[in-house]
Amino acid sequence: METAHVPVLAQEAVAALEIRPDGIYVDATFGRGGHSRLILAQLGPAGRLIALDRDPDAIRAGAALQDARLTLVQSPFSRLAAVLDQLGVTQVDGILLDIGVSSPQLDDATRGFSFRFDAPLDMRMDPGNGLSAADWLATAEEGEISEVIRTYGEERFAKSIARAVVAARQEAAIRSTGQLASLIAATVRKREPGQHPATRSFQAIRIYINRELEELSAVLPQCVDKLKPGGRLAVISFHSLEDRIVKRFMREEALGEQAPRRLPIPAALLKPGRLKLVGRAQRATGAEVAANPRARSAVLRVTERMGDGT
C-alpha cells in the first residue's frame, strides 16, 4: 500500500505564488499532487495548471485528479521550457519546485531508494531511463564511487566505503539495498546519533543516479525565462547542496550583470537583475516537523520576475 505524501511548506509555498484566478501556473514536481490541489483550489474556471513529474508512478496517480484546468506531463523538470513550448505556452504567472525524493518513492520498497527494506537497488526516479544504482556500482571505478559519496553525501568515510564496495563486488554483485546497507554499516564504525550509517551514502548515490543537482541547475534559468514580469518562483529544497544552488542563482539574478573589477563600466550599460528576492528563506515550523520529520531540513526561497528594463 502506497504511503500518502505530505508536502512540506505547502501552504507557504502556494501562498508565495500569489495565485491569480485566471493565471497559468506550473507545478514542476507533481509528486502526488499535494501542491497542485492547493493551486487548483485557488484557480478560477479560466485558470490553468501544468504539472510535470518524471516518475511514471506519479503520473499514474495524477490521473485520478480529473480537472480540465490541469495538464499533467511525464518529464524531468529540466525540460520545462520545451514542455511549455510544446503546449504553446510562452509565459506563466508562477512556478513551484519541490526538490528531492517523495515519501511514496522512499516508502515503496520496490523502488530501492531506502535501506529500510531489502529490495532491488534501483533508485531511479524514472525506472525507464538511465543506469540503476546497482548497475552503476557494478562498473564504477573506486575513485568515482568515493567522489560521489563524498561530494553528494558529505560522507567522511567515502574512501573506505568505496574500497569496500569494490572489494565486495569481486565476490558477488551488489544488487539489493540490504546488501549495500550492511556493507556500509560494517565499514562505517563511527555512527552519528540517531542516523543509520548508510544514510549519507544512499542519499549521495540517489542524487548522482538521478542527476538531481544538474537537473536543478538546468531548470532555474528556464524558470526565469518563462515567468511573466511579476510572476513568482518558489523553490523548496531539502539538501544543503540544493539550497546552495538555489540561493546563489537567485542572488546572482537579483544583482544583475556586474562590472569586472577595476574596469569602470557605466551601470547603464550593464544588464539589470531579472529577479527580486521576496522575503527571507522560510523553514518548517516545529509543529510541522513534529508531524512530518522529513520537513526538518526543508528551506523555501521565493523570488519575483522583474519587468524588462527595470
The residue type at 167 = A
Cell of 89: 505556452
What is the CATH number assigned to the segment(s) 10-104+212-305? 3.40.50.150
Q: What is the pLDDT of residues 159-182, one digit of tens each?
A: 999 999 999 999 999 999 999 999
pLDDT of residue 3: 47
8 Å CB contact between 53 and 32: no
* Residue 98 annotated as part of some ligand binding site: yes
* Residue 105 annotated as part of some ligand binding site: yes
Give me the residues of the chain with pLDDT under 50, please: 1-3, 309-310
Task: Please spell the DSSP secondary structure of 202-219, one letter per residue.
Answer: HHHHHHHHTTHHHHHHHH
* Residue 308 annotated as part of some ligand binding site: no
pLDDT of residue 308: 66
* Residue 53 annotated as part of some ligand binding site: yes
Look up the pTM and report it. Answer: 0.88
pLDDT of residue 142: 97
Residue ranges per structural domain of the chain: 10-104+212-305, 126-208
What is the CATH number assigned to the segment(s) 126-208? 1.10.150.170
pLDDT of residue 261: 62
3-state secondary structure of 179: helix
What Cα–Cα distance (Å) separates residue 220 from each residue in 83, 110, 162, 259, 260? 15, 31, 32, 23, 24
